[in-house]
Structure 1
C-alpha cells in the first residue's frame, strides 16, 4: 500500500470539531502520541485508522485522497513561475508546500493575486506608460473572481443548500410535470404572487437562458403564473424593461416574469425567488462565511448561492444523481428527461459531490468566441490558470467551430494527468431580427479514470496514449516545449533565439538553461 500522509487535513478536521488530540485518540482507539505523529506526518495513515476516522467524522475515504491537492499544487507552481518575482523554486518544493502547509499555500496565492491585480490596475491607469503611483493600498479583488473562488474552494458543492433544497422538494411534492403549479403555490404561501408580462415598448425580450447557472428549456406542465397576479397593488400593471427577464417588487410582493421565457426558464426563476424568500437567512450566512471584500462581491455571491439552490430544488440531488448514473451521464437525455437546458444539466452534474453519494467529479467551464472564460467550477484536481489564457488545443474551442454537436477529447496535462472532456455550444437569442444574441461553448470534464462511466466514451480506446491531446493550463505558464500552438513564451523560461534558424513551434525554449 502506498504511504499516505494526511496530517494537515486530519488536524483541520479535528479542530473543526473542537476536539483535543486526547479526545480524538480515545475515539479512534489509538494513543495520543500516535495521533500526534500522524498529524505531524511522522507516521502514515493506515487502513484501520482511516476507516475509524471516516466513521467518526462522517467523511468518506476520498476526503484524504492525494489528488485533492492537485489544484493547489498547480496554483502554487503558477505563482512561483511568475518571472516578475524573480524566484526559481523547484517543483518538488511547491508540491511539499501545498501538501504539508495548505493554508500557507493559499495565503501565498492570495498575496500573489493582490500583487497581480495591483499591476493590472496600474497598467490600466497609466496606459502602461510607467510606474506612476496609484496609492499605497492594493486594489480589492474583482467581485466575479471572488465568487468563482468561493465555489471553487468548495469544489462546487454547498451541502447546506443542496440538502435544504432536496428536503423542500420532497415536502412540497415537486415533480417535473407539476413544477410550475407547485412553485406558484409555494410562493403564494409566502405572500408572493407571480405575474407574466410582456416587456415594455412592445419589443421582444431576449429569450436567454434560465441561468440555473445555465439556460432552461420547456419543463412540462402548465405555464407558471397560472394564478396570474394580473395587476399589482393599487391597479398599476407590472411591466418589464426590454432586457429584463424577471423582476421582484418587495413592496407589492409581485414576481413579474417575461412572457418570452420558456416554461423551464420560468420554473428556474421562481425557484430562485424562493431561495431569497424562504432561505434568505441561510444564503446570508453562507455568503458572510466567505470573508468577501465588500458589498459587490457579497451580492454576487448571494445571487450565486440562490442560483445553486434553484438548480438543487428543480433537480433534487438523489433523484438527479440516480438518473444520471442510469443514463451514463448522457447530458442530452438528461436534458430531455428533466426538461432543462444543456448548460443547466452540465452545471448540476458538476455539483454531485455529496459524501457517500458522489457522482463523477466534473469540471465545468463556459467560454465565449473570444476565449473569455465566464464560468468555471471544478470538483476535480483540474486547475484553471489565472494568467495566460487557456489552451487553444482544448476541444471547447473546437465546439465553437462546429456548433450544435458534442465533441469529445482525451487530454493530458503537463503533470501527466489525463482528462476526458465533452463540449458543445449553446446559443441564446433575442427573438427578433437584428439583435445580436449569445453563443457559448460549454465543456464538462473528468479524470480519465472515470470516463468509462460516461456514455460518450463508448467505442473509444481510453488506454491508448496516442489518443490523448497534450494541452496546458495557459501559454504563459505552460511548461510544454515545442508546442506549435503556443501564443506566448512561458514566463521565466529562457528562449533559444537564433537569427539563422527557424522553427515550426514559436518561442523555442532553451532546454539547457
Structure 2
C-alpha cells in the first residue's frame, strides 16, 4: 500500500528528494537499487515520481541514507515554497508573477537554488531597511528619500535564520549537554550546586552570588583575569544553573561551537561573534532540560507545559523553547513552532520545526491568537488556524512576565505561542474535547499583511506587496483594501 500524507490524504511522491540524497552520496541508481533490494526500474520510477513509496520502502530509504523517515517529509518543501512565493511578490524586485506549478517543481528539483535566491532576497531586504534607518537617523522628517538604498543584513537575523534551517536542533551540543547533565548529576533543585562544582573542577572558575548586578539587570558577569563568575542571588536554581552552563559552554565547548559556526558560513565577524552566545545558550538549555529525559516526560504528560514546568522547576517559556528543539533524528518530538511577541507586535523569538511561515517584515497576522493573549493575562488560549495554502495548525498562547522582584524593579511582558500542524494536535492535552476531524471554528490567518493574499480580511493593515489596488469611490465595506488577483 502506498504511503499517504496524513494531512492531505495524497500518496507520497518523493522522487526529487530521493535523487538528491542519492547524488549527494555519489550512488548510481543501480547501487541504490541493490542496497534497497529493489529493481533498477522500480528505483527509476520512484525518482521520476511515477510510483509512490510504500511504508516499507520509506524505512529502507531511511536506513540507506541514515537518519529517519522524517527527512523525506514535505514540510521543508512547503516552507521553501511559501518563502519563495513571498519573495517573488516583492514589488521592489519587479518580478513577473510565476504560476504555482513551476514554483513547486523548482522547490522539488532545485532546493539549493531556491535557498540561495531566498538568501539573496533577504539580504536585499535588510540592505534596504537598514540603510533607510540610517538615513532617518541623519535626516529625520527633513527628507533624504533620494538617498535611501541598501546596507548589510543584521547579524541577529542571520543567526536566527540559521537556527531555523537546523530545525532549532544542534546535535553535537545537545548530546554533550545531555551527557554532562547525566554524569555530573544535574537534577532539578540541585542544578546550581552541580554546575558550581563543574566550573571549579573543569574550568578553574569560582562562582560568586551577587545580591544585585546593577541597574541594567545583568544576569551573568565573568572576570577572566580572576576566573570568577558572578550571578545574581535572587535567580532560581534553574536560572543560576543556566547562566553557569552558558559560561561553561563558552569556556569548555569552544571546538564544537566553532565547528557549528564554521559550517554556517556566516559572512561577517559580527554575526559570527553573535552566534557564540546563542550557541552557548542552546547548550545551557539542553543541560537544564536533557533531551531524553525531557522528551519522555513530555510524552508522558502529553505536552502539558505547566506540568513540565513544575516537574523540571523551570518557567513556562523555558519549556516552550525546549519543545521547539526536540528534533533529534530517530527520537523526534511533536514538530512545533514557538514564538514570543511583545504588546507592540514585535517578534523577539521565532523558531519553527513545522511548515508554519513567519513574516520577516511588516508584522504578524492580527488574527493570530498570540496577540489576544494580552487581553486575558495568564490564561492559556487555544486556536485552530488555517494558512492561505490550506495548511491547518493547532496553537496555544499565554502571557508571561519576566523580571520584577520589587515594586521599582524592571518587568518585561510577552505573549508566547506554541503550535503544531493539526495532524499532530491529538498528541497535545490542549486539544482534548475538540473535534479535530471537523474542527470549528477555523480562523483564517496569514503570514502578515504585506504578503497575505486574502482578499476579504477586515483586519488588513495595508495592501499586499505586488498587488495593484482597485479603488471604487462608489462603494465601501469593512474590508479596507481591494486589490487585483
**Structure-2-length-normalised TM-score:** 0.90
1:328 to 1:46, Cα distance in 2 relative to 1, 3 A:
closer
Aligned mates of 1:309, 1:23 — CA distance in 2 = 39
CA contact under 8 A between 2:130 and 2:153: conserved in structure 1?
Answer: no
Confirm or deny: 8 A CA contact 1:408 1:423 kept in the other structure: yes
Residue in 2 that maps onto 1:395:
369
Provide, for residues 189-226 of structure 1, a one-character-per-residue CA deviation record: whole Å limited to 9, x for no partner: 11111111123xxxxx5xxxxxxxxxxxxxxxxxxxxx
1:409 maps to what in 2?
Answer: 383
TM-score calculated relative to the size of structure 1 = 0.86
Matching residue of 1:60: 68
CA change 1:85–1:262 in 2 (3 A) is same
Distance between the aligned counterparts of 2:439 and 2:12, measured in 1?
Answer: 28
Q: Deviations over 1:98-129 (max 9, x none)?
A: 12211111111111112222322343344464
Larger RCO, structure (CA 8 Å, separation 6 or more): 1
Distance (Å, rounded) in 2 between the aligned partners of 1:453 and 1:33:
39
Deviations 1:244-293 (A, max 9, x none): 22111222221111123222210111121222222221111111111112
1:121 paired residue among 113, 130, 139 = 130
CA offset digits 1:445-466 (Å, max 9, x no partner): 1011111111111222223343
Query: Structure 2, unaligned stretches of length 5 or more?
Result: 3-9, 137-142
Q: Is the 8 A contact 2:127 2:153 kept in 1?
A: no
**3-state DSSP of counterpart to 1:84:** helix
Q: How far 1:182 moved relative to its partner? A: 1.5
Q: What is the DSSP-based 3-state SS (H/G/I as helix, E as strand, rest coil) of the residue aligned with 2:400?
A: strand
The whole-number CA distance in structure 2 between the counterparts of 1:470 and 1:5 is 28
Q: 407, 421, 437: which one pairs with 2:411?
A: 437
1:355 corresponding residue in structure 2: 329
| Corresponding position: 1:130 with 2:145 | yes
Distance 1:47 1:446, change over 3 A: closer
Residue 143 in structure 1 maps to residue 158 in structure 2? no
- 1:458/1:92 Cα in 2 relative to 1: closer, same or farther (>3 Å)? same
Distance 1:41 1:269 in 2: 50
**What SS does the aligned partner of 2:193 have?**
helix
Structure 2 partner of 1:76 = 84
Aligned residues: 469
Query: Unaligned stretches of 5+ in structure 1?
Result: 200-204, 206-239
Q: Tell whether the 8 Å contact from 1:59 to 1:355 is kept in structure 2 after alignment.
A: yes
Deviation at 1:437, TM superposition (A): 2.0
Larger displacement relative to structure 2 (286-295 or 111-120)? 111-120
| CA drift at 1:508 | 2.1
Which residue number corresponds to residue 5 of structure 2? none
Which of residues 14, 35, 47 in structure 2 aligns to 1:27?
35
Corresponding residue for 1:477?
451
Q: Structure 1 residues 120 and 404, CA, compared in 2 at 3 Å: closer, same or farther?
A: same
SS state at 1:397 partner? helix
User: Which of 430, 433, 436 lines up with 1:462 in the alignment?
Assistant: 436
CA 1:156/1:330 → structure 2, altered by over 3 Å: closer, same or farther? Answer: same
* Residues 465-487 of structure 1 deviation map (CA, whole Å, 9 limit, x = unaligned): 43111111000110111101000
Residue 153 (structure 1) aligned with residue 165 (structure 2)? yes
> Is the contact between residue 238 and residue 288 of structure 2 (CA under 8 Å) also seen in structure 1?
no
Matched, 1:283 2:261: no
Residue 175 of structure 1: aligned partner: 187
